[in-house]
Chains A and B, each alone.
Chain A
């Protein structure tokens, strides 16, 4: 097993590839993005797949660093051979070193708020993207019918665009401007 610490942070990176999404959601997103591109909208995809291993490491590192989890009782995860408990020279648990290593991971990940353990991103069913355009936008829905969006805002928070996305099976989560998913969660 490998001791916890900031070296873990570069493993299991988040991706921004549409190809990492699960089918049929992947095709839904590709079709929606193609329609947006044809309509002249600007789209920048930031996050798609967040590996569960990364989320596991972030979640438990934060919990240990903040004293809300017992490092000796963190459930193991397949494929993540991490040793959360650090020991001293004679093999006894070293709480200070354990907490310091977890805190170093938290800092390296750039975590400020407690990470959740699961989301549509870990299930390959969500995409974070910024969408913008100028003036009005005429975009085809999934049936191929053009829909003209005139009312503001001219970005991904436009309710008219949400309706178009829904025809492709790409559903907006209104509380998080960049986030679209298979079911709106």
Chain B
């Protein structure tokens, strides 16, 4: 019996890392952040204090058309980004460097750290199945009176479930186009 169990156990142990890789959990809170370029510096704010220098960070641009820019962590910014809204207690700020693509100045982008599955372009949208539920996640932005609401949705924006939400302060008044679903308070 033991002669049968030992190879079986070894087989299971060999498979375990593969299975773990396939089902790696994506944490929206610590895996998503907000990045923008200002004065030549790309700054990321994210609820994750453990990003190493060189960590690849994908930025989902939302204007004028959705696209992905690849960046990497250059250094920690102990004093945070220059957004007037201070970072929350659990947030950290990092300077990023572009690896591939271009980033329009001052436009906020949604940063994705270590997605289990790649981001890809689907028509006018960037999509990804971040949590492995076989449903594509979509990225969206809209404006309130003086800021941008950045959101990630399970399925098409405003019809699926909102999975993540952050606010980016602009510091000037704009024409609002957000819906109640975009700005509703509460987590996420």
Contacts and interface: CB of A to CB of B under 8 A. Distances in A.
Contacts of A113: 143, 148, 170, 174-175
Contact residues on B (Cβ < 8 Å of other chain), bracket: 20 to 34
Interface string B90-114: 0000000000000011110000000
A90 to B, nearest CB: 35
Given A110-B106, A113-B148, A174-B183, A128 B175 contact: no
A107 B105 contact: yes
Interface string A110-153: 11111110110110000010101000000000000000000000
Contacts of B185: 157, 174
B175 A116 contact: yes
Contact residues on A (Cβ < 8 Å of other chain), bracket: 20 to 34
Contact of B85 (A118, A119, A177): A177
A71 interface: no
Contacts of B106: 110-112
A112 B63 contact: yes
A68 interface: no
Given A50-B173, A113-B174, A176 B145 contact: yes
B146 interface: yes
Given A44-B86, A177-B169, A178-B85, A115 B174 contact: yes
Interface in A87-127: 107, 109-116, 118-119, 121-122
A130 B85 contact: yes
Interface string A31-53: 00000000000001011001000
11 contacts: A46-B171, A50-B172, A110-B105, A111-B106, A115-B173, A115-B174, A130-B84, A130-B85, A175-B147, A175-B149, A177-B147
Interface of B: 38, 63, 84-86, 88, 104-107, 143-149, 167, 169-176, 178, 183, 185
